Amino acid sequence: MTVTSDDILDEVKVVQLSLSKLVGAAAKNPPGADEIWPLYARTERLAAVLKFRLGVERPGVFLELPRSENPEEFLPLALAGLGDATESLTEKELLQGLESIRTARTYLRAFLAEKHRERMRVRRKAAAAKRTSSSS
């Protein structure tokens, strides 16, 4: 049975283009989590569909997400992963394409995790300031 991947390749290109626009504009207007979530969801779906079509399953492996004080630095890495996926899928190297999609997904997830941590730090500081001002 031949595994088709043209539709996946087309969708990877769409995600790649969308992320490329966000990365290009990041210096002036850094993207927020709301802009990255749809791209992350699409890469998650792409990985799942390709994995299903290939009939491969990797046992659950805990992958520690990279951390950074500047989450935007993960976006060019995710973009590079999507570029590698495009190249691999074009050359019909589907397993390598799957790994590249997974790499991009990991960096997008790392971005989202750091943005979440930032929001939680702000909330904790605000709550602490509120407690301090109300106890005075």
pLDDT digits (tens, 9 = 90+) for 25-75: 888 888 999 999 999 999 999 999 999 999 988 765 667 888 888 889 999
Q: Distance between CA atoms of 50 and 5, rounded to whole angstroms?
A: 8
The answer to whether residue 95 is domain-embedded is yes
pTM over 0.85: yes
1 lies in some domain: no
Per-residue pLDDT of 75-125, as tens digits, reads 999 999 999 999 999 999 999 999 999 999 999 999 999 999 988 888 888
Distances (CA, A) of 3 to 49, 51, 85: 11, 11, 16
Q: Is residue 22 part of a domain?
A: yes
pLDDT, position 6: 93
Q: What are phi and psi of 29, to 5 degrees?
A: -140, 85
Single-letter amino acid, residue 78? A
pLDDT of residue 118: 87
Q: Cα–Cα distance between 47 and 101 in angstroms, integer? A: 6
Where in the sequence is the domain holding 63, given as residue range(s)?
A: 6-135
CA distance 27 to 6: 33
Q: How many domains are contained in the chain?
A: 1
